[in-house]
Each structure stands twice: as structure tokens, then as C-alpha cells.
Amino acid sequence: AEAYPKVKRNSDFKVLDPADLAYFHSILSNDEILNSQAPEELASFNQDWMKKYRGQSNLILLPKSTDKVSKIMKYCNDKKLAVVPQGGNTDLVGASVPVFDEIVLSLRNMNKVRDFDPVSGTFKCDAGVIMRDAHQFLHDHDHIFPLDLPSRNNCQVGGVVSTNAGGLNFLRYGSLHGNVLGLEVVLPNGEVISNIDALRKDNTGYDLKQLFIGAEGTIGVITGVSIVAAAKPKALNAVFFGIEDFDTVQKLFVKAKSELSEVLSAFEFMDRGSIECTIEYLKDLPFPLENQHNFYVLIETSGSNKRHDDEKLTAFLKSTIDSKLISEGMMAKDKADYDRLWTWRKSVPTACNSYGGMYKYDMSLKLKDLYSVSAAVTERLNAAGLIGDAPKPVVKSCGYGHVGDGNIHLNIAVREFTKQIENLLEPFVYEYIASKKGSISAEHGIGFHKRGKLHYTRSDIEIRFMKDIKRHYDPNGIMNPYKYI
């Protein structure tokens, strides 16, 4: 695991003592507390999914109610005990694990659906509901959760809102800034601010919930979420294309928007490196196309009438072949095929992470520039002779992501982390993004990885505003410290 460089523990924060433990035991039951008697369990809360960051927390609190979260926060604020709120701990920027001995406040035990209104589609749940369970609940009620991620089996609704994750169907259902109707949040001083009963439209002043969407637990703990669920599509289909250059990927996107229009629900791309890693990783799963290409595109349609959608998709496939935009294409024949095509996309992050480690960037750029950052990085790695078969440290550079959202994920799969690779990548990547007026975090957040890097995307005055807000809500700075700002 990567050590935490260049930070020192803030000595203003109190070190946990027996009196603190006694207090937590007085308000929580035994199954709501984990401490150093359970070292293995502690480790899973301290270590991130990529195994890149590891904290040293000796205390994990897993309260079962908002009231208990409130008592915990008030106490921690009074005593200046630092706290890291944690959902499913699937984040990719070291945001959800402690850096030193911060208390981990896990939402895992707050896992109940609170309410569902099938007429408006309003779904309310505790923050700790696993996304898969939210999907299942809504599926059983003829709806879907408006967001899906490769980590759906582990990530939690509150964590997803807290990091403002984007996911695979953003193109259709849009941002959490639009889908979240209301939040229940415990502030650092223990006060509960709630507009969980909010209405679809409400223009009575500042929209305060927006502050907590994407705040990564730096100004409060999200304990409840109200969100608009969409009607469950009755028809789903997918096509997989092989394409030779990124210009053509863009042309295909324009064509898909125009010809598939209201049924288009995802437009994802992967480059050669991404698919090479995934082919190695998925071993026995037959690849859907006959040949290898420079780019692959997965297009999903979802709508209410299978015949109508399939007709549209078939016509689209035919016209792309006729116009010679694509080299090869394959349309799913049934649900199993559809799932398999998605497996090729959803497995890319795990495949890239299977060699030892990865350097990971998540960026927004104008569509015309989207792939250029990946090309520039690959060229640098090549020029330095760092990429190739062992013993070279870099296995492959993998660029993939969400064309529809102008979001590329760049994963540099490595055999080991080295300073040489890191120095080649950073600050180059960030400077490149800044020069193109892009964003250094499209949907994964800031966390520990991108601390102190907001200025590549945000202006001084914006950062000052953020700092003012942070200081106002969290004057002691106890919420998820050493990250973000």
C-alpha cells in the first residue's frame, strides 16, 4: 500500500482514550462498535478497494439510527475527535478511509428502505442501503434506481450521493444534483438538517442539499436520501462496435443521438488496452467481435416497447455498416447476450487492477479532446521505455469511459508502484487537463489522491467559497480531514 506522503497528523485532534470508549459504549450497543479486539475486521475499514491507502483507525462505529449518529457527532465535535464517514468503501480516490487514527463512522447498519411512492416514483431510504438492494426493491415495484455502477453490489446509496457518482446511465437519467430530492444530514455539531420530505419543485431559497452532494463527508454525514426513481424500462438492448479512431467514435455518438434518440441510454467506450486487459482477466468468456480494434463502443437502448426499440437499433446497425463508420458490430440477441456485452465494459476497472496496482485518473474534457489525454500519457510512458512485458513496470495504459458525459477514465495498470512512473504521470496529467479547461475529477471525487489539486480545475475565488463553507459547517475541521480542501 502507498504510504500517505507529506501529511502529518493534526495535533489539534484528540487521541481516543478510555473515557471516549466508555461514552460510545453508553450510547451504542455491542454490535454497533468495533475496536482493536477485532483487528481483521478493523483492517477492512482502514484499507481502500485499490489497496493503495491504509489508515490506522482503532475504532469503527456502526450506529443504527440518525439519532445515534447525531450523538456521536456532537461528542466528537465537542472533544475534537476526527471522523471519517464511510459507506461501502468502494471509492477510488482514498476518500473513505482514515489517514491516521480518525474514527470510522460506518453507515452499514442504517440499511432500511423508508418509503416508496409508486405514483411520483419518490424513493426514500437510509444512507447505508446497498445500491444493489435499492435496485432490487425498485425493480420489484416496477421502477429503477436512476444510477448504476460497476460497484453496485457493495456501494451504498449515501456514499454514492456523498461522492456524486455518475455511473453508466448518466446520459439518460442525469446527475444526482437533479435526481436527489432531499437529504437528511447530521452536521458536525450533531444538529440534523433534513429536507427528506422535499417536493419535486421547491424554490424557497438556497438549495442546501446540493452542498452535501459531492462533499465527500467533509461538512456532514448523510443519513437519509430521497431520490426520484425512473419507470422500469420494458425493453433493453445493446450493441458492441469495433472502431479504428476516436473521431469516428464521436461521429457514431452524434448518429446514435439522432437515430436512437429517446431510447439511447448509454454510450460507453473502451480502448485497445482496456479490452486487452479484460480479455486476459475474463479468460474463458468469448469476446463478442472477431477482430481486435483500436476502440470499442457499447451502446445501450432502453424503452417501453421491445419491437420498436429493436427495429430502431437494427436500422441503426445497418446504417452504420453501410456508412462504413464501424469495422465490426454485434447486437445482443437476448438478455444473456446483453449481460455479456455489459460484462466487457463493467469488468474493465477490475481487470486493470489485477496486475499489482494502478494509477487512476477520472477526467472530464470537451469531447473532441476526450481521448487525447490518454494518447499523450501513453506516449510519455513509451518514450521513457516503461511500458511493456515484465520487467517493465507498466503493463498497459487503459482509457475508457462515458462518451455521452465527456468523461474518460485512465487506468495505468502497473506491476508495481514506483516514483518514476508517478513523476512521469503527475503533475503532467493535471497540467494537461488544466490546459484543456477540463476537470480533474469527473465523477470519482477528490479524496486523498487529489488533495490540494482543486486549483487545476477551480478558480481561487471558487476555492475560497468552498473553504468558507467548510469552516462554517465544520469549524473544528473534524470531518474527513486531510482530504478535499
Binding site for ligand 2HG (CB under 6 A): 92, 150, 349, 360, 362, 401, 409, 411
Nearest alpha carbon to residue 357 among 411, 423, 318: 411
Nearer residue to ligand 2HG within complex by CB, 224 or 349: 349
Cβ at position 257, least distance to ligand 2HG in Å: 20
Reported in sequence order, the residue ranges of 77-197 that DSSP labels E, i.e. its strands, are 83-86, 103-106, 113-117, 122-126, 143-144, 180-186, 192-194
Residues 6+ apart with CB under 8 A from 19: none
Phi–psi pair at 243, nearest 5 degrees: -140, 150
Cβ at position 374, least distance to ligand 2HG in Å: 12
Whole-angstrom distance, CA of residue 156 vs CA of residue 247 = 37
Residue 385 burial (CB < 10 Å; 0-12/13-18/19+)? exposed
Nearest alpha carbon to residue 374 among 448, 270, 444, 292: 270
Nearer residue to ligand 2HG within complex by CB, 224 or 447: 447
Residue whose C-beta lies closest to ligand 2HG = 349
Nearer residue to ligand 2HG within complex by CB, 70 or 164: 164
Give the angle 394-400-403 at the CA atoms, nearest 5°: 155
Cβ at position 401, least distance to ligand 2HG in Å: 6
Nearer residue to ligand 2HG within complex by CB, 229 or 363: 363
Cβ at position 37, least distance to ligand 2HG in Å: 34
Specify the residue for cell string 479532446: 369
Cβ at position 207, least distance to ligand 2HG in Å: 26
177 membership: H or E segment, kind and range: helix 176-179
Give the angle 388-391-393 at the CA atoms, nearest 5°: 65
Nearer residue to ligand 2HG within complex by CB, 150 or 190: 150
List residues bridging with 271 in a β-sheet: 295
Nearer residue to ligand 2HG within complex by CB, 150 or 174: 150
CB 101 within 8 A of CB 80: no
Cβ at position 99, least distance to ligand 2HG in Å: 21
Cβ at position 342, least distance to ligand 2HG in Å: 11
Nearer residue to ligand 2HG within complex by CB, 58 or 90: 90
